[in-house]
Amino acid sequence: EEPLRLALTVSGVALGVAVYLAIHLANDSAVRAFRNSLDAIAGKSHLQVGAGDAGLPEDLFPVIRDAPRIKHATPIIQQSAWIRKFRPGTGRWKRERAGQGRAVLVFGVDLLADTYFRSSGTEGNPSLLEALSRIADPEGVFLTRTLAADLGVKEGDAVEIDAARRLRFWVRGIMKPTGLGGAMEGRIAVMDIGVAQEAFARLGKLDRIDLILDAPARIDEVQRAIQSKLPPGALVERPARRGKDVERMLSSFRLNLTVLSLIALLVGCFLIFNAMSASVVRRRAEIGVFRSLGMTARQAAGLIAAEAALIGLAGSAAGVLLGLFLARGALSAVTRTIRNLYTFLQVSDVEADPAMLAVVLLSGTGVSVLAGLGPALTASRISPARISREREAVHGFSPSFLRGTLAAGALAGVAAFFLSRLPAWDRVPVFGYMAALLAVAAMALFCPAAIGAGTALLKRLLGGNLTGWLAAHGLGRHPGRNAVTVASLAAAMAMLVSLVIMVESFRETVAVWAEQSLRADLYAAPASRFIKGSSASFSADTLKKVSRMPGIAAVDGYRILRLRWRGERAEFGGADFEVAGKRSRLPFIEGAAAEVMAGAKARGEAVVTETFSLRFGVKKGDVLRLPTPGGAVSIRIAGIYYDYSAEGGRLLVDRALFRRIWKDDRLSSMAIYLKKGTDRVAAWRRIEGVLDGGMTLISNWGLRRRVMDVFDQTFAITYALEAIAVLVAVLGIAMGLSSNILERRREVGALRALGLTRRGMAAAVMGEAGLLGLLSAALASGAGAGLGAILVFVINKQSFGWTIRFGIPFGTLAVYLFVAVFAAFAAGWLPARAAARIPISEAVREE
C-alpha cells in the first residue's frame, strides 16, 4: 500500500548488506590471493630456510642440501623491483622514470633444481636444455603472460628493472599463467640465480632455501636438525608460517573494516524496526478485526514478522547484487592499503563463494526478522474487544519509561568507561569494541528523553512561527518512532564524528612527526624501496661520494633489515646517531634526541620505537638478546621514540655498531643535509650524477607529501563506509516522515481547511526533518567525541601501538555535520510533497 516506504526500507537494508558483503569479499579475496600466491611460490616445499633481509650465507647451501632426509634443495633470490618497457633515453628524463612502471617480485632460481619444486612452464614448450640456455643468459628474464601484456612487450623485447641499479634485460620467454606464473596476479619475473645475485647486490647471499624431504612424516625431526646447523638469526619453518605472520599483522586492519561495515547494517535494522512499528500503528484496526475473527496473538505477531522477513529477504537479495558490484572498488582500496602498510600484494579479482553469499542472504533476512520482533510483539497485544471502538491515539513516553531509559543509558555509559580501561585480549581490543558499542547504546537510550526535551524547547523557541511550531509539534506527535529515527541517524553520525576526530588527530600527529623527524633537505634510496617489503640496498661508497660534495653539511645513512625476533617480524637497523641526534629531532618519550642518541652511541646501546616497546613488552633500561650473524648480542635500550613508519616496530643502533655486529655495510636510504645558502637545484644535479640509475632522489617536501598521500589513501575507505551509513540513516528519516504523514491525514486536512497553504504544509514537514537532523547532530556530537576518545586511546593504541595526539577538528566537524543535517532536511522533500498533495475533502471527510 505504501510503495515509497517499502522502497526506502528495502534500500536501507540493501545498502547495509551490500557494504558488509563488499568489505567481507574484499578482505577474503585479498587474503585468499595472498595465500594462493604463497602456495604457488612455495610449490612443493616442505620446509623453507631464511634469515629475513639479512639473507643466508651462500656456503650454507651445501651443508643443508647434504643433510639427512633432504631429498631436494634449491636456492632462491626473491626481491621486489620496478619493471618497465625499455625506452632509450639518458640524463634527467631517464632518471625520472625510477619508481615508475609495474611493481613485481623477481625470482632468481636454479632452473634445474627448481623443476622439482614449482611448475612454471613457458609458452612454446621449449626443451629443458633450451630453457636452461635461455635463463642462463646474463641479460635474460622470463615474464608471465599477464605482466608482458601489461608492459606491452613480447619475447625478444627489452625491459628495464630497477634492482640495486637500473639494468636492461631481454625477454627470453613468456611463462604460462599457472603455478608460479599465476602468483601475485602474474606480477612475477624469473631469472637465473647468479644473474639475480649480481643484479640485486646479493653476491654470496641467498634469500631462501627451499627443501623437499624424503620422509614428510618426519618433518618436525628434520626441522630441529636443520635448525641446529643454522647461524643465529636464521630460521627453518614450514611455508604456511610465513603467510601467518602477515595475516596476523592484517588481522587488526581487517577487523576494523568489518566493524565499520556492520554499522550500515545496524542502521538498516533501525529502519526495519521503524517500518514495522509504523505498520502496526497504521493497521491496528485491521489487526483488531482479524483478531475478532479468530486470529491468535501468535498469528498476529507472525504476520508482522513475516512482513519483516520479506522486506529483509528483498533487501538482502538486492544487497548481495549491489555488494558484488561494490566489492571490486572495496578490493582496490583494501589492496592498496595492504601494499602501503604491510606487504607486496597484487589482486584484482573478487572471488565470491556461493555458500557465503547464501549465508549473507539468510543472515540479512534473519537480522531483519530480529529487528521486527518488537513491533511483532506489539501487534500480538492488540485487544480485539477494544480496537473497534478506539480512534487512533498517540501517547508520549510515561515518566517511568523515561526514568528507566535514562538510568539504563547512564549505566551503559559507566560500563563503557570501565571497559575502555581494560587491556587487549590477545592483541585484539575486544573490550574497546564493547565500550564503543555500549557508548552508542547509551546514546540511543537517551534519545526518548531528548525527543521530549527537544520538543518542549523547540515549541517554546519557535512558538511565534506557525510553520516552526508545527515542525516542533511533529517531533512529539510520534515520539517512539522519532526516537528510533534519531537514534539511527545519531549512531551513524556519531561514528562519522568519531572517525573524523580519530583520522584528523592521527593525520595531525603524523604531520607533526614528519616535520620533526624528516629534517633533511633531500633523501635518496633505491626506487624499489618504496615497494612495501623490498630489501633493496646500495653501496656505502655512494654516501661517501655525496658527503664530499660542496654544499653538503651532513649525510645520514640508514640500513634497515626486517628480521624475526621472539617469533615476530620487526625492523632492525643502523643510523648515524651523531647526525640523527643533532638534526632529525626524533621525538623521544623521555629526553632530547641529541642527548639520548649521543649516550646510546657512546655506550653501544639501542633506541626503539613505541610500537616495538609495546609489541614486545620492553622498556627503557631493558637488555635485549639479539641474534646476529656473529652470534647473540646483548644490547640495552637507551630510549623509546615515537614513530609512524614501521608498523611492526623498529630497533636502531649506531651504524658503526650495526656494521660490526650484523656484518653489513650496505645502505637502505640516506638523508642529505645541505649547508645554508646552497643552491638546491645545483646540489640536486650533482647528487643525481653519482646515484645509480635504479635510485630515486626526493625532496623533503616530496617525501612528506608521499607520507601524507599514503595516509589519506589508507583512510579513504573508512570515510566511504561511514558516508553510506549516514545515507542509510537519512533514508530512515524519509521513511519515518512518510509513515507519519499517512497516519496524520486527518490532521493535515484539518490544517489545510483552516487555511494552511500547500507550501506551508510542505515547509512544516521539511522543517520536522531538519529538526530530526539537528537533534541527531547534537546527540552525535557528544557521543562522537566519546567514541573518538575510545578509538584514539584504546582501539588504535591496542591494535597498532601508536600514540595519537587527541584533538577535535571543529571546523571539519562543522562541515560534516552541516552536510548531514542538510541531507536530513532534504530527505523530507518527498514526504513534504506527499503531505501538500493530500486532498482536503477526503481528509476532512475521514475526520
Domain edges within the chain: 1-36+244-393, 47-237, 539-691
What amino acid occupies position 648? G
Q: What pLDDT, in 10s, does the model give residues 463-514?
A: 667 777 887 777 777 777 778 778 878 887 888 888 889 889 999 999 999 8
DSSP 3-state of 151? helix
Other beta carbons within 10 angstroms of residue 379's beta carbon come to 27
Please give the average per-residue pLDDT across 692-705, as a whole number.
Answer: 88
Q: Determine the Cα angle at 425 with ends 423 and 426, to 5°.
A: 125
CB contact at 8 A, 145 and 308:
no
CB contact at 8 A, 167 and 161:
yes
**SS3 track for 216-278:** HHHHHHHHHHHHHHCCCCCEEECHHHHHHHHHHHHHHHHHHHHHHHHHHHHHHHHHHHHHHHH
- Burial label for 649, CB within 10 Å (0-12, 13-18, 19+), is buried
Range with top average pLDDT, 119-133, 331-345, 596-610: 596-610
pLDDT category at 296 given cuts 50, 70, 90 is confident
Buried b (16+ CB within 10 A) or exposed e, 319-335: bbebbbebbeebbebbb
Q: Alpha-carbon distance 805 to 211, whole Å?
A: 48
Q: Alpha-carbon distance 170 to 269, whole Å?
A: 59
pTM for the full model? 0.80
> Does the pLDDT at position 394 exceed 70?
no
- Burial label for 203, CB within 10 Å (0-12, 13-18, 19+), is exposed
Q: Alpha-carbon distance 738 to 5, whole Å?
A: 7
Reported as type and span, the H/E element at residue 638 is strand 631-641
pLDDT of residue 219: 92
> Does the pLDDT at position 7 exceed 70?
yes
Please give the average per-residue pLDDT across 523-539, as a whole number.
Answer: 87
Instruction: Using alpha carbons, select from 639, 632, 553 the residue that is nearest to residue 595.
Output: 639
> Does the pLDDT at position 92 exceed 50?
no
C-alpha cell at 430: 575486544
Phi, psi angle pair for 232, to nearest 5°: -55, 140
Q: Given 3-state DSSP classes, what are the helix, strand and coil percentages for the chain, each rounded to the nearest 5? A: 60, 15, 25
Q: Alpha-carbon distance 583 to 576, whole Å?
A: 11
Sign of CA dihedral 733, 735, 736, 739: positive
Q: Alpha-carbon distance 715 to 710, whole Å?
A: 9
CB contact at 8 A, 773 and 821:
yes
Q: What pLDDT, in 10s, does the model give residues 12-27?
A: 788 888 888 888 888 8
Instruction: Using alpha carbons, select from 94, 317, 106 the residue that is nearest to residue 192.
Output: 106
Range with top average pLDDT, 235-244, 736-745, 779-788: 779-788
C-alpha cell at 546: 655525496
pLDDT category at 773 given cuts 50, 70, 90 is confident
DSSP 53: B
Please give the average per-residue pLDDT across 797-801, as a whole number.
Answer: 84
Strand pairing class (695-699; 568-575)? unpaired
Q: What pLDDT, in 10s, does the model give residues 153-180?
A: 999 899 999 887 888 999 988 988 888 8
CB contact at 8 A, 232 and 631:
yes
CB contact at 8 A, 338 and 246:
no
CB contact at 8 A, 565 and 608:
no
pLDDT category at 821 given cuts 50, 70, 90 is confident
C-alpha cell at 204: 654470496
pLDDT of residue 96: 44
CB contact at 8 A, 211 and 72:
yes
C-alpha cell at 491: 549512531
Q: Which residue has the higher pLDDT, 36 or 83?
A: 83
Q: Which residue has the higher pLDDT, 794 or 348?
A: 794
Q: Alpha-carbon distance 778 to 547, whole Å?
A: 59
Q: Alpha-carbon distance 492 to 779, whole Å?
A: 11
Q: Alpha-carbon distance 381 to 300, whole Å?
A: 9
Q: Which residues contact 786 (CB under 8 A, 6 or more apart)?
A: 416, 439, 498
> Does the pLDDT at position 82 exceed 80?
yes
Q: What pLDDT, in 10s, does the model give residues 413-445?
A: 999 999 999 998 877 889 999 999 999 999 989
Q: Alpha-carbon distance 432 to 249, whole Å?
A: 19
pLDDT of residue 91: 42
Range with top average pLDDT, 244-248, 277-281, 315-319: 315-319
Q: Which residues contact 560 (CB under 8 A, 6 or more apart)?
A: 53, 571, 572, 573, 650, 668, 669
Q: Which residues contact 424 (CB under 8 A, 6 or more apart)?
A: 430, 431, 432, 798, 799
> Does the pLDDT at position 286 exceed 90?
no
C-alpha cell at 451: 525527543
Edge-to-edge strands, sheet with 631-641: 623-628, 631-641, 606-609, 650-654, 568-575, 552-565, 669-674, 522-526, 695-699
pLDDT category at 559 given cuts 50, 70, 90 is very high
pLDDT of residue 204: 92
Q: Alpha-carbon distance 584 to 514, whole Å?
A: 10
The strand pairing partners of 47, in sequence order, are 211
pLDDT category at 459 given cuts 50, 70, 90 is confident
C-alpha cell at 477: 506527535
> Does the pLDDT at position 751 exceed 70?
yes
pLDDT of residue 245: 63
Strand pairing class (166-175; 140-144)? parallel
Q: What pLDDT, in 10s, does the model give residues 824-845?
A: 788 778 777 777 777 776 655 5
Please, where are the H alpha helices in 293-372? Answer: 297-341, 354-371
- Burial label for 143, CB within 10 Å (0-12, 13-18, 19+), is buried
pLDDT category at 132 given cuts 50, 70, 90 is low
> Does the pLDDT at position 335 exceed 90?
no
Q: Alpha-carbon distance 446 to 285, whole Å?
A: 31
CB contact at 8 A, 172 and 155:
yes
